[in-house]
């Protein structure tokens, strides 16, 4: 049984693909200026950022909001 989420624009998009797209578009320097969290500032990597974002709901919401603004 699959649950459809027609009102969720992030349905089916992984956090990793969101982060990769943001880094490709903004780069780590600009991304850390827009969303001021240490995992984007100090020795940033996709892996360390994913670990942090998966454990920190408020930061993940900011990243998802920026992604939605980018693709809008």
Say which residue, 2 or 38, is predicted with more confidence.
38
Neighbours of 18 (CB within 10 A): 21
- pLDDT, tens only, 43-67: 999 999 999 999 999 999 999 999 9
SS3 label, residue 59: helix
- Cα distances (Å, whole numbers) of residue 24 to 9, 31, 35: 20, 10, 15
pTM for the whole thing? 0.88
Q: How many separate domains does the chain show? A: 1
Query: So what's the pLDDT on residue 28?
Result: 97
Helix H or strand E encompassing 51 = helix 46-55
Q: Is residue 1 part of a domain?
A: no
CATH code of the domain covering residue 38: 1.10.720.30
CA distance 10 to 58: 16
Q: Is residue 41 part of a domain?
A: yes
Q: Would you say residue 38 has pLDDT above 90?
A: yes
pLDDT tier at 34, thresholds 50, 70, 90: very high
For residue 46, what are the domain limits?
15-71
SS3 label, residue 71: helix
């Amino acid at each position: 049984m699959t649950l459809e989420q027609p009102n969720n624009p992030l349905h089916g998009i992984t956090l990793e693909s969101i982060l990769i797209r943001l880094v490709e578009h903004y780069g780590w320097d600009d991304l850390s200026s827009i969303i001021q969290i240490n995992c984007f500032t100090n020795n940033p990597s996709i892996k360390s950022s994913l670990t942090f974002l998966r454990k920190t709901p408020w930061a993940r919401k900011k990243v998802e909001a920026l992604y939605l603004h980018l693709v809008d």
